Each structure stands twice: as C-alpha cells, then as structure tokens.
Amino acid sequence: MTHSSALKKEKQLRLARNTSKSRKIINIVRKNTRELQNYFISNKSQSTSNEQFTYKTRTFTGPSCQKLTDFLKQKGTDDNNNIHDYYQIIHNSFLLQLMKQTVCASCKLIWNGDMSVAKREGLYCSLVFICCCSHEIKFNTSKQCLNTSKRDINVRIFAGFGHQGLVKLCAILNVPLPTDEDHFSDTLDYLLPTFESYKLRSMKNTVEEACKKSNERKITVSGDGTWQKRGFSSLHGVVEVLSNGPTSKVIDLERLSKKCSICTGLLSIKYSDPKKYSEIKNKHQCEVNHVGSSASMKVAGIHRLFARSKMLYNVKYAHYIGDGDAKVFPKLISDSPYEDVSITKIEDVNHFSKKMLHRLQKIA
C-alpha cells in the first residue's frame, strides 16, 4: 500500500468515527429536548397550583426560610447530576424563530403566530405562543421552588451581586427591574441564613473532594485576598483559600473589617446619651475583626483560615500555592498553625512569570 492510499484510508476511518460520534450526540440532544419540552411546555388548560399568585395581588410576606432550606436541600441532592441546571439568556425573536420551525399540534401546519407575556413575577415570566389557528402553548421560564410559591430564578437573583448589580444587569438586558431596593434588602435578610448554610455545605463538599483526591486529610490550597478599595487604604477586605485543580473552588473565606458602621454611628450620642451609648455598644455584634494596616489584612486573614481548618473540617492545608505575595508564606512558617505539619510552598507559575517579566524589563 502506498503512503497516500494509507493516508486516505486513515482519513476515511476518522470520518466514519466522527459521523458515529455526531449521531450519538444528536440522539442525546433529541432525547434531552423531548424531556425539556415535556417539562416546560404545557397546555394552558393545565394550570399550576399558584396560577393566581402575583406580586401585585399579594403583599410580600416572604417565603418561609425552612421551606427554602428544604428546597435547597432537595436541589443539592437532585440537581447535582443534572447537567442542564443552568439558564440561557435568549432574545425573544429567537424563540419565535424556533417556534416557526415546528408544526402546530392543532392545525398540523407549520406554526405561524405570535407570542405574549401572560404573567411576570420578578425575572420569571409565563409566555404564551398563539398559533394563527388560536391554539395556545404556555411556556414557563423558570421552575417553581419546592413547597413555596417562589420561582427558582427569583431566589437565585439574591445571591451575590446586590441590588445595584441587578439594576445594571436588568437595564442592559432591557428587562423590567424585579424589585425595589427596600424589598430587595428585606428579602436578602430573610434568605441570608439559607444562603449561608448552602455556602457552608458547598465548601465542606469541596474539602471532602480535595481529601479524596489527595487520599489523606492534608490538602493543597491556594490563597488570595481582595479589598473593597484599591491602594492599601481600604477599611474592608476579603481573603479566601481555594482548592487545587482545574476547577478550583472556594474552601473557606473571611471578611476583615477595620471599621464598624454601628460603632461609628454611635459616636453621635456618645456624650449626649452616654447610657444608651454604652448599652448599644455592649450589646451589638461589632464588625471590627482586624487591627493593623490594610496591607496586613491578607496575611492575617489567610493565617486565620489556616488556623481554623482543623476545627472546621478536620483537615490541614499542607501545601500552599503562593500568588507572589512575599509576606503570607513567611507568616505561615514563623507562626505555624499546625504542630505536626510544616507547610510547603508551591509558586504559582503565572505570578512567577509576571514578576520575572517585570524584572527583565527593568534590566533591559
């Protein structure tokens, strides 16, 4: 066999393999699409239990925290293996285009009609597609939380980015703002314990994953910190340790504050009402948990996270991937958080090469 014919045969084999692979993928997508259709598309006559519920007709009382915790517990177990547990941002016109590629179940012709929003609750909405033969298909954009009247998307929007972030995102996407600021912060207070418990569970799972990988209760972590303001004068900062690997996750984090808003506010009544001043001062949960410069927040914070790893997770962070910060590792060595483990350092290649480049540029 000549060299060229061998190459040709190999190419044909490769093509055949690719075709069978593509066929498999298409079958999986078909199956998943059918499941999704069954899940999301329902006839309008099949109403859900909370069909009459809207923000407008019902004053906000907030879903019970327990119910939400139950929901998140359920989610934690059920959706872990659900590869479709995420959202897509789709422009309306593409949904219409999609519908125009289907056959209407009623008139058996290519679907030709229009869509409208039947109901809107926060970021959730119920869409209705009406064919020219008057056949209606109802489409929900988010599922309902277990045992509550809340929609999944309206719980998720409270996690992480604040009301201002939501305002910006909604403005960019041309979506009506789901909630005002007061309502947002009230709901957030309500949901916070649930988010906290979910966060702790997630971090604990990450630690167990890392232990499984390293086959012992000593793991490799990287650490980093960020400040509310740049320039080493920030009053607040956050430090975190992360697991090692291509999909590293946060294992533990700590907020460090040099100032407390309640203490500052109390100064206004320090002399006019000293009794009330000392009463509130003694009772309040002070936010100050760092004394020293803003630059030292990272060192102190990461050391604190190392020191509590044994108590929190019964695990020791034996290897530390440094990010080029010269002070963190010497602190971990001079004031070792563990009696029987001496922490070793692995230098992060990205930071190392960045520093190397700067040095070389200075010489050149």
Q: Give the shortest CB-167-to-Zn ion separation in angstroms.
A: 29
Interaction of residue 115 with Zn ion, rule CB under 5 A: no
CB of 105 to Zn ion, least distance (A): 8
CA pair distance 364, 359, nearest whole angstrom:
9
What part of residues 281-340 is at the interface with Zn ion (CB under 5 A)? 286
Name the one range near Zn ion by CB under 5 A: 79-87, 128-136, 156-164, 334-342: 128-136
- According to the binding rule CB under 5 A, does residue 261 interact with Zn ion? no
Q: List the strands of the sheet with 250-257, edge to edge.
A: 250-257, 236-243, 218-227, 316-322, 344-347
User: Judged by CB under 5 A, which of 72, 99, 104, 328 binds Zn ion?
Assistant: 104
Residues near Zn ion (CB under 5 A), total: 10
Instruction: Give DSSP secondary structure letters for 242-310.
Output: EE-STT--EEEEEEEES--HHHHHHGGGTTT-HHHHHHHHHHS-------S-STTHHHHHHHHHHHTHH
- Beta bridge partners, 42, equal 138
Per CB under 5 A, 268 contacts Zn ion:
no
Select from 72, 125, 127, 131 the one that contacts Zn ion (CB under 5 A). Answer: 131
State which amino acid sits at residue 230: R
135 lies in the binding site for Zn ion (CB under 5 A) = yes
Q: How far is the CB of 265 from Zn ion (least distance, A)?
A: 9
Is 34 or 100 the residue whose CB approaches Zn ion more closely?
A: 100
**Minimum distance from CB of 52 to Zn ion (Å)?**
28
Longest CA–CA separation in the chain, Å: 101
Place of tokens 């044994």: 310
> In sequence order, what DSSP letters do the residues of 194-219 get, joined into one string?
HHHHHHHHHHHHHHHHHHHHHTSSEE
Q: How far is the CB of 70 from Zn ion (least distance, A)?
A: 35
> Does 133 participate in binding Zn ion (rule CB under 5 A)?
yes
Q: Does 106 bind Zn ion (CB under 5 A)?
A: yes
Amino acid in the structure at residue 304: R
**Least Å from the CB of residue 98 to Zn ion:** 16
- Which letter does DSSP use for residue 228 in this model? S
Binding residues vs Zn ion (CB under 5 A): 104, 106-107, 131, 133, 135, 260, 262-263, 286
